[in-house]
A and B are shown apart, each in its own frame.
Chain A
Amino acid sequence: MTETEPKTFKKVRVEKGSRGWGGPLTIEPKPGREYIVSITGGGIHPLAKKIAELTGGIPFDGFKSKVGFEQMACVVIDCGGTARVGVYPMKKVPTIDIYPTSPAGPLMMFIKEEVFVSGVKEENLKVVE
Chain B
Amino acid sequence: MTVTSQLKLRTRVVAIGPLVEEFRASGLLVLFQAGAPEELAEFSVLHEASVNLATVAPGDTIRLGADRYGVLAVGDVVNKNLASLGHLILKANGLTEPEMLGDVCVEAKPLARLSVGDEIEITGPPQEAE
B partners with A? yes
C-alpha spacing A79/B39, complex, angstroms: 14
The answer to whether A63 and B83 touch across the interface, beta carbons within 8 angstroms, is no
A46 adjacent to chain B (CB < 8 Å)? no
A79 to chain B minimum Cβ distance, whole angstroms, is: 7
Closest residue to B76 on the A side, CB-wise? Answer: A80
C-alpha spacing A41/B89, complex, angstroms: 15
B residues in contact with A104, CB < 8 Å: 99-100
A62 adjacent to chain B (CB < 8 Å)? yes
A21 to chain B minimum Cβ distance, whole angstroms, is: 13
- Interface 1/0s, chain B 85-99, versus A by CB < 8 A? 101010100000001
**9-residue interface stretch from A8-16, A83-91, A121-129:** A83-91
A71 adjacent to chain B (CB < 8 Å)? no
Interface residues of B in 46-90 (CB under 8 A from A): 75-78, 80-81, 83-85, 87, 89
The answer to whether A80 and B78 touch across the interface, beta carbons within 8 angstroms, is yes
A116 adjacent to chain B (CB < 8 Å)? no
B16 to chain A minimum Cβ distance, whole angstroms, is: 15
B residues in contact with A105, CB < 8 Å: 100
Closest residue to A39 on the B side, CB-wise? Answer: B37
B102 adjacent to chain A (CB < 8 Å)? yes
The answer to whether A41 and B81 touch across the interface, beta carbons within 8 angstroms, is yes
B108 adjacent to chain A (CB < 8 Å)? no
Q: B-contacting residues of A (Cβ < 8 Å)?
A: 39-42, 62-63, 66, 69, 78-84, 87-88, 91, 99, 101, 104-106
B residues in contact with A39, CB < 8 Å: 37, 40
Closest residue to B23 on the A side, CB-wise? Answer: A106
Known A63-B37, A66-B37, A106-B23: A80·B28 in contact at CB below 8 Å: no
Closest residue to A90 on the B side, CB-wise? Answer: B39
The answer to whether A81 and B102 touch across the interface, beta carbons within 8 angstroms, is yes
The answer to whether B83 and A80 touch across the interface, beta carbons within 8 angstroms, is no
The answer to whether B43 and A81 touch across the interface, beta carbons within 8 angstroms, is no
Interface-central residue, B39, B75, B83, B89, by most chain A CB under 10 Å: B39
C-alpha spacing A88/B37, complex, angstroms: 12
The answer to whether A80 and B39 touch across the interface, beta carbons within 8 angstroms, is no
